[in-house]
Amino acid sequence: MRVLGVETSCDETGVAVYDSDTGLLAHLLYSQVKVHAEYGGVVPELASRDHVRKILPLIRQVLKDSGCGFADIGGIAYTAGPGLVGALMVGASVARAMAYAWNVPAIGVHHMEGHLLAPMLEANPPAFPFLALLVSGGHTQLVEVKGVGQYRILGESLDDAAGEAFDKTAKMLDLDYPGGPEVAKLAERGNSERFRFPRPMTDRPGLDFSFSGLKTFTLNTIAEHRQADGMPDDQTMADIACAFQDAVVDTLVIKCRRAIEQTGLHTLVIAGGVSANKLLRQRLETDMARRGAKVFYARHEFCTDNGAMIAYAGCQRMLAGQGDDLAIRAVPRWPMDTLAPVL
């Protein structure tokens, strides 16, 4: 079965064609980073308008790249949530309308399920069951995964998501949006011995996270080292980025370690934008290897938002006979543990 995937939940328009026999045939991504950069974050209305501009040319091109005519497409998967409602509506209405015109099924996919399954697109995919650490701009969750759609949330952030904390820290350090990769780059020049930031909620049992206090700690450290121009010197900024990244990564590693011990699982999947972070990958790999567990993640471009993960997730559900009615679905808030299992 060949499935066209459409992702428009935030600031990237992603499209892809996935074939259940041969794998990914083509994928394209248009990032709106430049549109939002001057505002220091995503402006929802501008995001929706840019999706409208880009979605049809991208779909036309991805069909061409995959060598598919519309008669070759057996179904359309689109991100139905969670995300920005206007942005979601663009992908949902285009996908649903095309499916109606082509007389094929359409399915609304959960964005975080897409992230969670993205490592399945790699040559050496993880086997169920596994523990998943989902770390994106909007979510930080530890999930026990028994199969597609069989999710038990073990812990999650009580306030900011890990990616959001990176983005806010970048803003405080006067770095560009999106901040995660910028903070990581600056941290490479930092001295990890100079500051030690707290590891929130690691001193008590449980698998929940909290990153907003870390943000305040960062702000206070910047204020303490402010110079005449209002910012700390370059080296201090790098040292702060380094201490911040260390604290987030350490906190995530500690919680993954706990979850692996608690569940007895031997496979850890990391997914979502922050799973592209090099230090996080390295530290988790070292720590998990010590416990006889293996870490899986997607290639860099499939860690952040993309259409391939949506095509893949939708395809799994369609192969199991699932599909939606004619409604156009856009669900800004949608708990992942309410999804139907694929048995």
Helix, strand or coil, per DSSP, at residue 168: helix
Q: Which of residues 184-223 bind ligand KG4 (CB under 6 A)?
A: 184
- Residue 16 beta carbon to ligand KG4: minimum distance, rounded to whole angstroms: 15
Helix (H, G, I), strand (E, B) or coil at 42: coil
Question: 168-200: string of b/e by CB count within 10 Å (b at 16+)?
Answer: bbbbbbebebbbbbbbbebbeebeeeebebebb
Q: Is residue 108 within the footprint of ligand KG4 (CB under 6 A)?
A: no
Which residues sit at the interface with Zn ion, rule CB under 5 A? 136, 305
138 binds ligand KG4 per the rule CB under 6 A: yes
C-alpha closest to that of 15 among 84, 95, 128: 95
**Cβ neighbours of 290 (radius 10 Å):** 9
DSSP state of 292: T
Element (H, E) at 109: strand 106-110
Burial of 265 (0-12, 13-18, 19+ CB in 10 A): middle
Residue with Cβ nearer ligand KG4 (161 or 207): 161
Note whether 79 binds ligand KG4 by CB under 6 A.
no
- Using CB under 6 A as the criterion, what x/- string covers residues 228-267 for binding ligand KG4? ----------------------------------------
Options 102-110, 173-181, 188-196, 312-320: segment touching ligand KG4 (CB under 6 A): 173-181
129 lines the binding site for ligand KG4 (CB under 6 A): no
Residue 138 CB, nearest approach to ligand KG4 (Å):
4
Longest alpha-carbon distance in the chain: 65
Distance CA 159, CA 208 (A): 10
Edge-to-edge strand order for the sheet containing 2-7? 23-31, 12-19, 2-7, 75-81, 106-110
- C-beta closer to ligand KG4: residue 136 or 236: 136
Q: Is 140 in the site for ligand KG4 (CB under 6 A)?
A: no
Establish if 181 lies at the interface with ligand KG4 (CB under 6 A): yes
Q: Does 91 bind ligand KG4 (CB under 6 A)?
A: no
277 binds, among Zn ion, ligand KG4, none (CB under 5 to 8 A by kind): ligand KG4
- The rounded distance, in Å, linking the Cα atoms of 110 and 72 is 24
The stretch among 13-21, 92-100, 136-144, 281-289 that binds ligand KG4 (CB under 6 A) is: 136-144
Binding mask 292-311 for ligand KG4 (x = CB under 6 A): ------------xx------
Q: Compute, in degrees rounded to 10, the torsion defined by CA atoms 74, 311, 109, 314.
A: 50
CB-wise, 96 or 115, nearer to ligand KG4? 115
Binding ligand KG4 (rule: CB under 6 A), the pick from 3, 99, 276, 308 is 276
CB nearer ligand KG4, residue 62 or residue 274: 274
Contact residues toward ligand KG4 (CB under 6 A) are 10, 115, 136-138, 163-164, 166-167, 178-181, 184, 272-274, 276-277, 304-305
